[in-house]
Amino acid sequence: MFHLAGLSRLSIASLAIGYAEPVGFSRWEIVLFLVLALASLSAFFARFSKVLVRIFESKKDPDFRLSPIARRVWDFVWEVMCQAKVIKERPLPGLAHAFVFWGFCAFALVTLNHFATGVGFPFLRSRTWVGGFYFWFAAAFAVLTAVSIAALFVRRLFVRPIWLGQKVSYESLFIAFLILALMVTYLGAFYVGASPGTIKALWWAHTLALLIFLPLIPHTKHLHLVLSPVTVFLKREGFSRIPPLAGDEDFGMVTGRDLTQIAALQAYSCVECGRCTEHCPAANTGKVLNPKEVILGLRGYLNELGPKSEEPLIGKHESLEALFQCTTCGSCEYQCPVGIQHLPMIIGMRRGAVNTGVWEDDYGTKLFLALEKNGNALGLSSSERDKFIAKQQFPIFDGTQEYCLWLGCMGGYDPQGREIIASFARVMEYLGTTYGVMKKEKCTGDPARRLGNDLVFQTLVEENLRNFEQNKVKRIVSICPHCVRTMAEDWKEYGVAPEIEHHSEFMARHQSRLPNKDTGETIVYHDPCYLGRYRGVYDQPRQVLALSGTVIDPPRARERSFCCGAGGGLAFLGEEQGERVSHNRAKELVETGAQVVGVACPFCNTMFRDALGATSEAPPKLLDIAQITALQLPQKVAARADG
């Protein structure tokens, strides 16, 4: 009893005393501290200044604008200060990382005071109200940081997710040890029984850990501690946006001279967490492409050769094969916690490879020729499209109708794409919406743009824009998320496209007037990359499908949806290496046990057509949301679904 009372008195005393400050530094101790601090800071800046020089010596980003500043501030607060992205995508390790980050923030003042104490000018005193509070506040974060870093240490050493790399990173383990040492030596100063000698020893141990840690930052991936807040703030506007070329002399990213400041900053900010790779459809199906290595390749190039080098980027540091395996699904950019934008770099290097003739691919050449000659990616004569329009009796757009119904290459030429268009036309007619189709529609240029052929892309865009202007088109609706994205965003470089929306958005807006008859079927919905991640449209297709059945999600859904393998022009290239991306996804869709796979993109549709049959003996039905809706319409609405 007496003992407990003593203990309780002790803890009250320790609460009153709090953080014990070291006293009585000798002149020699001060000199030693200053010499060590100077050495540490010099080692830090010796490396950090080189990184800064490489970033500043890189080419300026031609399209960079700081506005809108409010969006940048919001991203900074949300992604950096709140660590929201880090936590959302990997909740437990994310939270542990966030506590380490918040601990660092809380410790900024403590560290400054720590150094000021070493030269005899502490500005935080534990006996004052502010100092007393702040030391306890930092102590709370020290405990959370110590627990978190210990957990991350165990994860890296024993769990070792493959995305972090095959080998144990001793560098990361040592840094984790230093952070733990910083926390423990700080907390030790709260021990009420510690003698003045012990307190001073703790101060020195804490100082040494700090002075060893500081120069390691720019030499390791922990450089992200300094750079990533800036990277997040300065990242390019828009999601997976491809920056424009800076004139006729700009061939894309060919050598170090083509690396821009933003690209260099992003390359140095990579924390090597592997989140991009973990979600990459190419990396998940045995391809050479690994988005983390794309970024580290650029960093390696800058370290070795610098931004003034004329050496090609593709070769030792970047793999041509890998660059052309990217489906442009955008998962990497969506997942990256430090604001790295992979697609401007991947497409930038594709542009360089196409414009300098480094990329030679029979399928690619055939595709570009088809786009140039026939104006569509399937290489069919435009008379085939005319025949389809005549057979379906689609009205021709003449400026009087509400909508221009955009057929796209798939809707105009592909048999299954035609069925989707016919179904959607029935839905529009049922709703009483007037529409017409363009006589001389050309491909939006999406596959040329994503494969790096800006010349073909520009020609197609200009022809289409002229056509829209002549026909006074004001509003477009399309069944294809690739067309929607390309017209709404990529075309901006060459003019203003009419307002465009995806058919899922159109149908969701009119859902109260669409038939609502539950078929009793379960529909698993596959989020297309260009509708979900690129456009943020997740709920509308689900709302439309819910009119016809029970909608379920596969395990990888919404922002984490797994690509079908068609994007980035890959639908038109040859055989894939390793497992097919579409098969990987089809298996997941089949395993949900749904009777219907609901899609909202004609490219996903074409990819799953074979994949579902190849992965299941009794595959579920594959239907677009327009087809599912059209099946509910009264029979008297003219049947068009025979394509």
**342 part of the interface to ligand SF4, by CB under 6 A:** yes
Q: Quick one: which of 94, 330, 364, 481 contacts ligand SF4 (CB under 6 A)? A: 330
113 CB burial (10 A radius; 0-12, 13-18, 19+): buried
Candidate residues 40, 58, 328, 374; the one interacting with ligand SF4 per rule CB under 6 A = 328
Cβ at position 563, least distance to ligand SF4 in Å: 6
Spatial distance between the Cα atoms of 192 and 3, rounded to a whole number of angstroms? 17
Is residue 276 within the footprint of ligand SF4 (CB under 6 A)? yes
Closest contact distance (angstroms) between CB of 461 and ligand SF4 is 22
Site for ligand SF4 contains 341 (CB under 6 A): no
Under rule CB under 6 A, residue 419 binds ligand SF4: no
Task: Name which position in 90, 114, 236, 275 contacts ligand SF4 (CB under 6 A).
Answer: 275
582, 608 in Cβ contact below 8 A?
yes
CB of 269 to ligand SF4, least distance (A): 7
Q: Which is nearer to ligand SF4, 207 or 486 (CB)?
A: 486
Segment near ligand SF4 (CB under 6 A), from 105-113, 272-280, 361-369, 457-465? Answer: 272-280
Q: Which stretch binds ligand SF4 (CB under 6 A): 145-153, 196-204, 327-335, 618-626?
A: 327-335
Q: Is residue 291 within the footprint of ligand SF4 (CB under 6 A)?
A: yes
Q: Is 332 in the site for ligand SF4 (CB under 6 A)?
A: yes
The least distance separating ligand SF4 from the CB of residue 244, rounded to whole angstroms, comes to: 20
Does 281 help bind ligand SF4 (rule: CB under 6 A)?
Answer: yes
Site size for ligand SF4 (CB under 6 A)? 28
Per rule CB under 6 A, is residue 232 in the interface with ligand SF4? no
Cis peptide before 218 (omega within 30 of 0): no
Q: Which stretch binds ligand SF4 (CB under 6 A): 70-78, 209-217, 281-289, 383-391?
A: 281-289
* Concatenated DSSP letters of 269-322: H-----HHHHH-TTGGGT-S--HHHHHHHHHHHHHHT-TT--SBSBTTTB-HHH
Which residues are within 8 A (CB) of 460 and not within 5 positions of it... i.e. 6 or more apart?
371, 375, 442, 443, 444, 445, 448
Q: Are 232 and 334 in contact (CB under 8 A)?
A: no
CB 313 within 8 A of CB 298: yes
Stretch that binds ligand SF4, among 140-148, 324-332, 425-433, 475-483 (CB under 6 A): 324-332
Q: Which DSSP string do the residues of 133-185 spell out, in sequence order?
A: HHHHHHHHHHHHHHHHHHHHHHIIIII--GGG-SS--HHHHHHHHHHHHHHHH
Map 324-383 to HEC letters: CCCCCCCHHHHHCCCCCCHHHHHHHHHHHHHHCCCCCCHHHHHHHHHHHHHCCCCCCCHH
CB of 294 to ligand SF4, least distance (A): 7
Residue 270 in the binding site for ligand SF4 (CB under 6 A): yes
Asked if residue 335 binds ligand SF4 (CB under 6 A), the reply is: yes
Contacting ligand SF4 (CB under 6 A), which of 80, 295, 302, 477? 295
> What one-character DSSP code corresponds to residue 221?
G
For residue 202, the tally of other CB atoms under 10 A from its CB is 21
Name the minimum Å distance from CB 561 to ligand SF4: 11
Structure tokens at 357: 């003739």
How far is 55 from 302, CA to CA, in rounded Å? Answer: 9
Nearest to 86 by CA among 210, 232, 204, 283: 232
Residue 326 touches ligand SF4, criterion: CB under 6 A:
yes
What residue ranges bind ligand SF4 (CB under 6 A)? 270-276, 279-282, 289, 291-292, 295, 326-332, 335-336, 338, 340, 342-343
